[in-house]
Amino acid sequence: MVKPQEGFDSPSIERVTNCQTGGATEDELMIERTIEDIAEALGPHGAAPRRCSVLLGAGCSISAGIPSASDIVRQIKVKFPAAYARAASHDYPDCMAALERGVRRDLIGAYIDKAKINWAHIALAQLIDGGYVDRVLTTNFDPLISRACALVNSFPAVYDFAASHIFNPDQVSEKAIFHLHGQRDGFVLLNTRSEVTKHRNHIKPVFDDAHKGRVWIVVGYSGENDPVFDLLARVKTFEYGLYWIGYGPKPSKHVADKLLGRECGAHFIGGWDADDFFVTLAQKLQCFPPRFVTQPFSHLKSMFSMLTDYNAPRNDIEDAPNLRQSRFDVASVVRPQLDNLIQSREQSLSAEYHFLAGEYERVVTLFEKKNVKKLSPKDADTYGWSLLILGDRLHSTAKADDNRAQYRSAIRRFEAAAKVSITAADALYNWGNVLFDLSLAVRDGAPEVMTRSAEQLLRRAVAKYRDAIAKDPSFADAHNNLANALTDLARVEYPRKDDGMLREAFDHYEKAIQGTQTPDIVHCNYAKAVHDLARITGDLRLYKKSSTHFKIAAKFNPNYYSVFWSWVHALSDLARKTGSAKYYRASFEKYRRAAEINPTDIAAHHSWYYGLLELVKRSKGSKKEALIEQAKSVSREQQRRRRRQMRN
């Protein structure tokens, strides 16, 4: 949950924190939409959600174990080679036409009978139960949508339009499923081109009714070799929009030409399989997951509530009407057990699901009014980490937007997580990070200037880091950030002196080094703090110690700009104190490396230039002339970079 982050530069430190329409044509803009557009179209507009008709094709059943039309054609080629050879063409309708009617039914039925309910149909059932979808038109023979609805205790009417052509829109149930080509166990299954073509006029009234005042969603349907597509293509305008969901990134040519290529309110959304599409849409509309996942015992109890009370006869005695006392309630054992499970286990199951789904607010809602000390270890872990993740998000937003209210909200999350023993150390650490960042924020863009309010916040951050370390003495990031805070606080005193605060910071950096996963950052921070003390004391040994840690940091991360830029300051100070050309030249090398790492940087060349002039004053003869030429070259490069910045 934590990652390295740069802070302001020398003499400061870095902390460890947690934390395409361009070029599109007018036609492309007309047809392209996102799943967010669909969720918005189906969301409440007034008292109730907008009604929706869904057209399902074979692609919705593939993950359930039912092959696509092209896969069935390949099966026919293998299992019925003679029929395949005599087919008028090798597409699905003609290959099926080459088989006898009973063989077709057996071929399809074998797959349907073994199919499992997939999550596309479960999510669609949730959309039906939630009132978002009230018409499902399917070209599939399988009963997966009916089975999925029954699984979530929703029971829309089912109409088989291959077996009966009678349609009275006034008598259609509020929620309805229409099998346009028949059902697995129906009397008629329409497979061939001639069968479905003759059937087109019979199903037209169904389409007309499904069109009225509704959004259209088409999923898993190719529109090839099926007159059903012609009924959609003839619609002049989809008043509330039609969304064609494609598996590939682009629509097929006939869909693009006949449906999407005209201004009729039809839009294409590519890159979705049926499972992911319906689940994601249901999530966005707050009707996923189904209750049998998050509240399985309550779901089962609701199923029992649909049953009448009944006392069944016992098997071990001969029952008679006058011996009713010998009978027993068939649900008497299950019902109280369900109540016990609801009380003892269901909340934990719900919380675990919501955590895995990334629904951390829902986890917090489940537990926030509970006594934290009475939560099971697993529930406490789920609750504590949900609070940490939410706090981290708020912290990131607060930093990005400089939003003080978000900082306070993040603190409240971490404060709550600190009461959970399993997450206490992480919560206190992150709480300290928020206070540290808030301390920087109140300095109004001048992090090197310590205001009274900034100092107060920083001292509170120090206290939280100490509390985190008390909970977990080996917490490397907490040691690092505590050392950073102490280094920052050491700048408060003026004139500055060696009062032990920086030396305490050194101890924490040493402990951080032992367990850190970001040694480059810790060594760089350590080096800067040592450089700070070297400036205060004038101790040359400290300057050299600072360089040692910069060198280690650079070894771990040779492209770490802050290492070389801060290293330059230490070497330049050492060069001025000693007058040694060796240290001047070492600083020039670090300037060069910093400029290489950041090609747009001009600060390095600026300081490099003046460093060269300092050495020029200390040099003579040919060495002096060479340094002057080098200074001119550095100045030219600085000017070149500055001009480039101005052009950009």
**Interval 556-590: pLDDT, tens:** 999 999 999 999 999 999 999 999 999 999 999 99
Q: How far apart are CA 282 and CA 375, in angstroms?
A: 31
pLDDT confidence bin for 324, thresholds 50/70/90: low
Buried b (16+ CB within 10 A) or exposed e, 447-471: beebeeebbebbebbbbbbebbbeb
Paired tokens of 489 = 């606080």
Mean pLDDT of 63-82: 89
Residue 188 has pLDDT above 60, yes or no: no
Residue 313 has pLDDT above 60, yes or no: yes
Number of Cβ within 10 Å of residue 293's Cβ equals 15
Residue 536 has pLDDT above 70, yes or no: yes
More confident residue, 595 or 449: 595
Fold of 27-65+118-284: Rossmann fold (3.40.50)
pLDDT confidence bin for 190, thresholds 50/70/90: low
Mean pLDDT of 534-550: 94
Residue whose pair of structure tokens reads 């169904």 in the numeric block: 206
Most confident among 221-235, 241-255, 302-316 (mean pLDDT): 241-255
- Per-residue pLDDT reduced to its tens digit, 407-435: 999 999 999 999 999 999 999 999 999 99
Q: How far apart are CA 57 and CA 71, in angstroms?
A: 14
φ, ψ for residue 564, nearest 5 deg: -70, -35
Cβ atoms of residues 202 and 172 within 8 Å: no
Residue 386 has pLDDT above 80, yes or no: yes
Q: What's the mean pLDDT when you consider all of the chain?
A: 86
Number of Cβ within 10 Å of residue 51's Cβ equals 19
Mean pLDDT of 257-283: 91
Nearest to 56 by CA among 218, 175, 240: 218
More confident residue, 409 or 70: 409
Q: How far apart are CA 593 and CA 560, in angstroms?
A: 10
Residue 319 has pLDDT above 70, yes or no: no
pLDDT confidence bin for 479, thresholds 50/70/90: very high
Extended beta strands in 306-416, E state: 311-312, 328-329
Percent over 90 (pLDDT), the chain: 55
Q: How far apart are CA 591 and CA 595, in angstroms?
A: 6
Number of Cβ within 10 Å of residue 404's Cβ equals 12
Most confident among 233-242, 353-362, 436-445, 457-466 (mean pLDDT): 457-466
pLDDT confidence bin for 127, thresholds 50/70/90: very high
Q: How far apart are CA 469 and CA 509, in angstroms?
A: 13
Show contacts of 315-321: CB within 8 Å, 24+ apart: none
Mean pLDDT of 472-482: 96
Task: Let me know the angle formed at the C-alpha of 7 by 478 and 540, rounded to the nearest 5 degrees.
Answer: 85
More confident residue, 328 or 358: 358
> 3-state SS of the chain: helix, strand, coil percent to 5?
60, 5, 30
Residue 360: which residues within 8 A CB-CB, separation 6 or more? 354, 386, 387, 389, 390
- pLDDT computed for residue 19 by the predictor: 36
pLDDT confidence bin for 500, thresholds 50/70/90: confident
- pLDDT computed for residue 189 by the predictor: 53
- pTM tops 0.85: no
- pLDDT computed for residue 186 by the predictor: 52
pLDDT confidence bin for 72, thresholds 50/70/90: confident
List the chain domain ranges.
27-65+118-284, 67-114
Q: How far apart are CA 608 and CA 624, in angstroms?
A: 16
**C-alpha of 15 from chain center:** 26
Cβ atoms of residues 324 and 353 within 8 Å: no
